[in-house]
Every structure is written in structure tokens, then in C-alpha cells.
Structure 1
Amino acid sequence: MTKTRSIIRGVGGYLPEKIVTNAELAKTVDTSDEWIQERVGIKERHIAAEGEFTSDLAVAAAKKALEASGLTPDDIDLIIVATTTPDYTFPSVATLVQMKLGMHHGMAFDIQAVCSGFVYAVATADSYLKNGLGTRALVIGAETFSRLLDWTDRTTCVLFGDGAGAVIMERVELADDAPEQGVLATALRSDGHHWDKLYVDGGPSTTGTTGHVHMRGPEVFRHAVGKITDVVYATLEKTGYTVEDLDWFVPHQANKRIIEGAGAKLGLPPEKVVMTVALHANTSAASVPLALSAAVADGRIKQGDLVMLEAMGGGFTWGASLIRW
């Protein structure tokens, strides 16, 4: 007997060249490097260049993931891009990535779950692969979130940045007695009653404009830690593992205090928590794969490690995925 699993073949991340530091922001809005670092743990953020679009960031991350996996675009059957900032209302960023990679085969589509988008995309790719709708998936979180910001609003403009991260997922058949590998369990949640706590005040069918991000920060913070821990426990319960079994916790990189609060509530030692928010700020759907890419690149995450991904975003949406590396 065998069991079907979606394993991670490779990861990659990309950050635009332009860096905006806290000190630079302090010249245009009433804030300071000390205040930003103390409250949210961010030192700098990357901003996409003029003419550099979400699909460009996605392709750059995708190429690194393909290189890491030893695969080419010809080996990919499915592309899923998690993004809140598409190049166009349509076509999807995923189809643009498909074109820019020179692919004429397979299927491609976007997922919009804001900061939870990458976790939702991993779950979707896992389901597609396990149900025989492809052998390998390119799953990307990519954002040019800077283009949703009001740069005069100090409550939001200091928090976000641009970037992309990608993974290659592959369907494999493992013998029942073979070592565990791949996506083991996922839990996804949403509650639209909280939509006005974190939202963009524009859209095609409302204002006909892109709009800007608005956030009721204290309320988001109040919900975040509880929802994060709830979905982590729900995912673990599906597998029989406990928090103590985790080698790494890779959370959404939104706010240092939220990450630390969730880690403390879960009883995780800080050395098991991957935190990269200081170097790229909140990159929405790109933040989890960027953190994952960094931890794989520097050797922290190794084959056989038990890794928990987690994210929460506007909607509210939230979710977690447990992966045996």
C-alpha cells in the first residue's frame, strides 16, 4: 500500500532592489526608527521599481525555486499565485507568470486571501495534486503592496513592503512504512464579519479605483494571537503531533509582537520561530514563503524537519499547514 503526498522540491525568494529605511520614512511622516522597531520590529522594506510589477517579482522567485529543485518550466503542470495586488484586474498574475516562463501547457490561476494567501495556495495545490490534476505545482506568494499604501498615513505606510516567494510542490507515492514527507495537514478559516478591521477602500465594482489600505491596528492585534494559535492546534490535532514535536514555526511576517505573542502562547522557544519581518516588513502573501526561503537557504530548515506554516490576513482569513520537510 502507498500514500499520496505533496512534497516540497525547492523554494525561492525575491526582494526588489530599492530599500526604504525607517529613517527615510521619518522624513515624510511623523514617526521614528525607534518607534517602528519597538512597536512592530521592522527596520526596512523593499519597494518595487517603476515598471516592476507583481508578475515580475513572482517570476524572479519562481526561477529561484525551479533552480533549487533542479526542474524547468516544462516540468510544471499547475501555477497558483497568491496575491492581493495583481498586475491587472484580469488576466491573473499566474497566467502572466506562465507566459513569462515560456509555458504553453498546464493551468494557472490566482488566489486572493490577502496575507493568508500563500497558506491557502499550498492547501489548494496539495488538493489538486493529490486528486491527480497535476504532478508538480509552482506555488507563489507575490505582492507589490506599496501600491496600495497612502504614504501620508503613518499607521499603515510603515508596515508594508513588496516581495515574492515560491515553492515547487510535487506529488509522490510513498510506501505506508516509508519515512514521512510532504504536506501532512492543513486548517483554513475565515470570518467576513471582520472585513472592516483591515481592508482597501476601493475596487472595480465599488469605486472603480485601486484604493488604499485601512487598518484598525489594535483590533487586528487583539484577534491575531488567538486565531493563530487556534489554527495551529487544529492542524496538529489532525496528525497527532504536538507543539513540542515542531522543529520550526514559520508565521506570517506582519508584526514582531504578534509573532512573539503567538510563539509564547504556543509555548514555542524563540529559537524555533523564524522571523524575517525586520528585513522586508509585511509583504502580505509573500511573507511566509520569503521567511521559508530564508530559513532553507541558511540551513535552519533541513530534510526531515517538522515545519508549521501559519498566516492571518484581511477578511479575516487565517490558516496553517504542517509539512515534513
Structure 2
Amino acid sequence: MSRMRSVLRGCGSYLPARIMTNAELAAMVDTSDEWIVQRTGIRARHIAADGETTGMVGLKAAEAALADAGILASEVDLIIVATATPDHTFPATATYIQAELGITQGAAFDLQAVCSGFVFALATADKFLTSGAAKTALVIGAETFSRILDWEDRATCVLFGDGAGAVVLRAEEGTGTLADRGVLTTHVRSDGRYANKLYVDGGPGSTKTVGFLRMEGREVFKHAVINLAETVRHTFEETGLSGDDIDWFVPHQANRRIIDATAHKLGIGEDRVVVTVDRHGNTSAASIPLALAEAHADGRIKPGQLVLIEAMGGGFTWGSALIRW
């Protein structure tokens, strides 16, 4: 029985030019390269320049994705930007990107699920495309997390970086089987009881300030491994697949230990895991599309392969998606 699928037609990414190494951080706070690498796997991260906004980095990733897809901006009728660091309270950063691309049709809006944002945005775009509400979508993860970091808090400032990644999705008819190209299944979850474990201590409705990121690292680690394995197990139960069937696992790049522990729980070998956290740090909603774009560009991910993505972020939010490339 035929059904519409959201087929991934292109990927793009952008990283700010400035690279901040662990050695540079060690000169700012009481930390060391050894301490950071041992606990997180991070060696460097990119930092947006003064005046380089979330919208700007998102736009560059979107342009790269459209070029990779060979699709004109005028064909796009849906833009979703996943970000926890928008340029303004409103309007949405997505509308800035829409205007810069010269798009006047369709809808553009931001989605906030922190590090899970790209998975949530992909799931949302999939619903638009498979229902017939849109035909071509830009799904963008863009962040300038350096703007909400307390650079005196060594527990958090060493973890995050800036950047953007984007994918182009197009509604195309499939057979309704797992052999179809495109998004095959998505699962998203939230549990607000844990909001105080990972949050920003400000906002227009509370302190009237932007605030800084705060985190209880051990609690986040514990919940991340459990929740991420749970959401992927739902995918396996729904599809009848297992870790052996996955060609590439592209997790949220938060911490190398979380990535390794989750892959082990799912039975996915290290040789099938895409890792960029060592060079990018945690770029929140941008981390998965950045990793997808890199593995696509260097030829690791090939047409027809099964790609599993997953993420967990503040809220707590978490989710996964299975895509046939």
C-alpha cells in the first residue's frame, strides 16, 4: 500500500571560523585538556564571532543544504528552525532565514526542545509532508550557545559550541514498507519533572534577562543513557529491526561517554557510530545535522542505508528517528 514519505534530499552545515581549544579554556578557568577529554571526549569547539547570529549560521547551513539537494529556495514551503538560542524573543529566527532566502510562500517557525530540537523538528516536518500540508521542507538546527554560557563555570563552559546544520526534505510517494527512502519512524518524549536538571536561569517571562545555562551533569548523564536507549527500543519494536540492521548511528553529540554507553546498550558497533563531539563540542540542536552533513559529505552514509538518530535535551526532552538515506 503506497504512502507519502519525507525523503532527505540534501544536507548542509556551517561552523564559525573561530576554534576554541581546551588549552584556551584552561587559561580561563580551573580545568585542563586532560580533564575535559577524559570526561567528555571534547578537544575543541567553534565559537561564533561578534555579530554572527543564530540566524546567520542557520542561513549558511540552509544554503549549503539546498545546493547539495539541487533544489531552489523558491520550492521550499516549510522552514523549521530548532534552536534554544534564537536571535530575538520574536519574530522567529526561521522567518529571518525565510526572508534571506527570498521565500514568500508557506510557513516558517522556530521549535524549542533544546538538544532534542532537531529530532522534534524532523518529526514535525515529517507530519507536514506526509499529510500533504507541505511539499518541500528545510529543517535546520542552529545554535550560538556561547552566548548563554557562564565562562566562569567550568562544569558547563567546556562542553558547548556554536554551529548549524540543515537538511532538505521532500514529500515523495513510497510503497509503505521499510524499503522506502525517507523518514520511516519517529518517536519524541518529554518529562518536565526534570526541568531543574538542565536549564537556563533566565528569560523574558521570569527574570527579564537571557540568563546562563545550568546543569547537574551526573543526573543528565544517568537519564540520557536510559531515555535514549528507551526511545530507540520503541523504534526497534515498531519496525522489527535491531542494532545489527543499522548502518549508521548518528547520536546527539553531547558527551563521548554517553554516545559510547548508548551505542553499547543498543548493540551498535563503534565502527557504525558517527562522532564529531571531539571537534564540535555539544552544539545542541545543531549537533545531529552537523554530524549528518559531515558523514554525507565524506561518503560514509550512502543511498539506501539505514540511519538512526537520537537526542536528549533539557526539559527533559528526548527522541529518535529512523531514516533510509
TM bracket, shorter-chain basis: over 0.9
How far the C-alpha of 1:176 sits from its partner, in A, is: 5.4
Partner of 1:152: 152
Partner of 1:284: 284
- The alignment yields a C-alpha RMSD, in angstroms, of 1.0
Partner of 1:211: 211
1:265 aligns with 2:260: no
Partner of 2:294: 294
Distance 1:118 1:177 in 2: 24
How far the C-alpha of 1:175 sits from its partner, in A, is: 4.0
Partner of 1:38: 38
How far the C-alpha of 1:174 sits from its partner, in A, is: 2.2
How far the C-alpha of 1:177 sits from its partner, in A, is: 7.5
Structure 1, unpaired ranges of 5+: none
How far the C-alpha of 1:242 sits from its partner, in A, is: 1.5
Distance 1:84 1:13 in 2: 18
Partner of 2:6: 6
Distance 2:234 2:174 in 1: 25
Distance 1:6 1:267 in 2: 27
Alignment of 1:92-131 (within 5 A): 92-131=92-131
Q: 1:21 to 1:268 in 2, by over 3 A?
A: same
Q: 1:281 to 1:260 in 2, by over 3 A?
A: same
1:83 aligns with 2:83: yes
Structure 2, unpaired ranges of 5+: none
Letter in 1 for 2:267: G
How far does the alpha carbon of each residue in 1:165-216 deviate from its partner, in whole angstroms, 9 at most, with x for none? 0000000012458942110011111100000000000001100000000000
Partner of 2:164: 164
Q: 1:178 to 1:260 in 2, by over 3 A?
A: closer
Partner of 2:252: 252
The number of residues matched between the two structures is: 325
The two structures have a TM-score, normalised by structure 1, of: 0.98
2:29 counterpart SS class: coil
Partner of 1:143: 143
Contact 1:232 1:320 in 2 (8 A): yes
Letter in 2 for 1:123: A
Runs (4+) of structure 1 exceeding 2 A deviation are 174-179
2:239 counterpart SS class: coil
Partner of 1:67: 67
Distance 1:179 1:232 in 2: 19
Distance 1:57 1:157 in 2: 20
Partner of 1:24: 24
